[in-house]
Amino acid sequence: MSQPPHDEPGLADRVRLEIDKLLQRGVKGFAYLRSDAPDVGLTPKDVIHARGTLALYHYQAATDEVYRTPVLLVMSLVSKPYILDLAPGQSLVEYLVARGHDVYMIDWGVPRPEDSGLRLENYVLDFIPDCVERVLEDSGEPDVSIVGYCMGGMLSAMYAAAHGEGPLRNLVCFTTPFDFDGMGLMKRWSDPKYFDVDRIVDTLGNVPPELLVRSFEMMRPVSNLAAQIRLWDNMWSDEFVRSYRIFDRWANDQIPFPGECFRQFTKDLQWANRWYKRELQLGGRRVDVGRIKVPFLHVMAEHDHIVPYDAAKELADQVGSADKSSIVLKGGHVSLVAGPNAVRRMWPQLDTWLAERAT
Amino acid sequence: MAETRESRKSRGWDPLQGLRELLDQGERALNEVLAERSASERRNALRGRLSNLLLDAQKRNWEMWARWFQTINLPTRTDVIRLGKVLTQLEQRMSQLETGLKAVERRAGVAERASPSASAPSRSGHAPASDRPRPARTRRPPSRAAEEKR
Among candidates B23, B92, B141 on the partner chain, residue whose Cβ is nearest the Cβ of A226: B23
On whether residue B138 sits in a domain, the answer given is: no
How far apart, in whole angstroms, are the C-alpha atoms of residue A174 and residue A349? 12
On whether residue A258 sits in a domain, the answer given is: no
Interface check A243 vs B, CB under 8 A:
yes
Q: At what angle do helices A11-34 and A238-251 cross, to 10 degrees?
A: 40
Catalytic residue selected from A150, A261, A298, A351: A150
CB contact under 8 A, B3 and A58: no
Same domain? For B63 and B24 the reply is yes
pLDDT beyond 70 at B124: no
What's the half-sphere exposure (Cβ side, CA atoms, 13 Å) at A293? 7
Same domain? For B36 and B65 the reply is yes
pLDDT digit string, tens, across residues B76-120 = 888 888 888 888 888 888 888 887 888 788 778 765 654 444 444
Nearest C-alpha in B relative to A359: B140
Domains in chain A, number? 1
CA distance B68 to chain A (A): 19
Interface check A247 vs B, CB under 8 A:
yes
pLDDT tens for chain A, residues 1 to 359: 444 445 566 777 777 887 887 777 777 777 777 777 778 888 999 999 888 899 999 999 999 999 999 999 999 999 899 999 988 888 999 999 999 999 999 999 999 988 999 999 999 999 999 999 999 999 999 999 999 999 999 999 999 999 988 899 999 999 999 999 999 888 889 999 999 999 999 999 999 998 888 888 888 888 889 998 988 888 888 888 888 888 888 888 889 999 999 999 999 999 999 999 999 999 999 999 999 999 999 999 998 989 999 999 999 999 999 999 999 998 899 889 988 889 988 999 999 999 999 98
Among candidates A9, A51, A60 on the partner chain, residue whose Cβ is nearest the Cβ of B12: A9
The confidence score (pLDDT) of residue A25 equals 76
On whether residue A114 sits in a domain, the answer given is: yes
Please tell me whether residue A9 adopts helix, strand or coil conformation. Answer: coil
pLDDT digit string, tens, across residues B39-67 = 888 999 999 999 999 999 999 998 999 89
ipTM confidence score: 0.73
Same domain? For B26 and B69 the reply is yes
pTM: 0.82
Q: Which of A133, A137, A141 to mutate to test the interface with B (most CBs of B within 10 A)?
A: A137
Nearest C-alpha in B relative to A216: B35
How far apart, in whole angstroms, are the C-alpha atoms of residue A126 and residue A149? 19
Nearest C-alpha in B relative to A186: B39
CB contact under 8 A, A65 and B1: no
Same domain? For B21 and B60 the reply is yes
Give the Cβ contact number of residue B5 at 10 Å: 12
How far apart, in whole angstroms, are the C-alpha atoms of residue A301 and residue A253? 22
Same domain? For B21 and B69 the reply is yes
List all residues of chain A from 52 to 71 with a beta carbon under 8 Å from chain B. Answer: 52, 58, 60-61, 63-68
Among candidates B44, B59, B134 on the partner chain, residue whose Cβ is nearest the Cβ of A194: B44
Same domain? For B52 and B93 the reply is no
pLDDT digit string, tens, across residues A170-193 = 999 999 999 999 998 888 899 999
How far apart, in whole angstroms, are the C-alpha atoms of residue A152 and residue A129? 14
CA distance A335 to chain B (A): 8
CB contact under 8 A, B139 and A63: yes
CA distance B71 to chain A (A): 22
Same domain? For B60 and B87 the reply is no
Beta strands at A168-174 and A45-51: parallel, antiparallel or unpaired = unpaired
pLDDT beyond 80 at B5: no
On whether residue B59 sits in a domain, the answer given is: yes
The confidence score (pLDDT) of residue A7 equals 56
Domain ranges, residue A138? 45-182+273-356
- Are the CB atoms for A261 and A119 separated by under 8 Å? yes
On whether residue A142 sits in a domain, the answer given is: yes
With contacts defined as CB-CB under 8 Å, which chain B residues touch A203?
55, 58-59
How far apart, in whole angstroms, are the C-alpha atoms of residue A25 and residue B15? 17
What's the half-sphere exposure (Cβ side, CA atoms, 13 Å) at A110? 5
Domains in chain B, number? 2
Nearest C-alpha in B relative to A134: B129
CA distance A156 to chain B (A): 23
Among candidates B27, B34, B128 on the partner chain, residue whose Cβ is nearest the Cβ of A140: B128
Q: Where are the alpha helices (H) located in chain A, listed in sequence order?
A: 11-34, 92-98, 120-121, 128-139, 151-162, 185-189, 197-204, 209-219, 223-233, 238-251, 259-264, 274-277, 309-312, 315-318, 340-341, 347-356
Interface check A218 vs B, CB under 8 A:
yes
On whether residue A113 sits in a domain, the answer given is: yes
CB contact under 8 A, A140 and B119: yes
User: Given its phi and psi angles, is residue A86 left (phi above 0), alpha (psi -120 to 50 degrees) or beta?
Assistant: alpha
CB contact under 8 A, A141 and B15: no
On whether residue B70 sits in a domain, the answer given is: yes
- Are the CB atoms for A54 and A115 separated by under 8 Å? no
Q: Between A and B, how many residue pairs show a Cβ–Cβ distance under 8 A? A: 166
With contacts defined as CB-CB under 8 Å, which chain A residues touch B92?
51-52
For residue A52, the domain's CATH number is 3.40.50.1820
Same domain? For B27 and B43 the reply is yes
CA distance A274 to chain B (A): 23
What percent of chain B has pLDDT above 70? 73
Got the DSSP string for A259-280? Answer: HHHHHHIIIIIIIT-HHHHT--
Nearest C-alpha in B relative to A196: B48
pLDDT beyond 80 at B132: no
CA distance B21 to chain A (A): 11
Same domain? For B30 and B41 the reply is yes
Same domain? For B59 and B40 the reply is yes
How far apart, in whole angstroms, are the C-alpha atoms of residue A47 and residue A55? 7
Same domain? For B33 and B61 the reply is yes
On whether residue A213 sits in a domain, the answer given is: no
Taking CA atoms, A64 is separated from A98, A206, B135, B136, B138, in Å, by 10, 44, 5, 7, 9
On whether residue B41 sits in a domain, the answer given is: yes
Among candidates B52, B82, B139 on the partner chain, residue whose Cβ is nearest the Cβ of A66: B139
In this structure, what DSSP letter does residue A257 have? B
Q: What are phi and psi of A57, to 5 degrees?
A: -95, 145
On whether residue A16 sits in a domain, the answer given is: no
On whether residue A259 sits in a domain, the answer given is: no
Beta strand extents in A36-80 (DSSP E only): 45-51, 54-59, 71-74
On whether residue A320 sits in a domain, the answer given is: yes
Is A261 annotated in the active site? no
Is A304 annotated in the active site? yes
On whether residue B7 sits in a domain, the answer given is: no
Same domain? For B67 and B79 the reply is no
Is A150 annotated in the active site? yes
On whether residue B23 sits in a domain, the answer given is: yes
Domain ranges, residue B96? 75-105
- A278: buried, middle or exposed (CB in 10 Å: 19+, 13-18, 0-12)? middle
Nearest C-alpha in A relative to B15: A14
- Are the CB atoms for A69 and A23 separated by under 8 Å? no
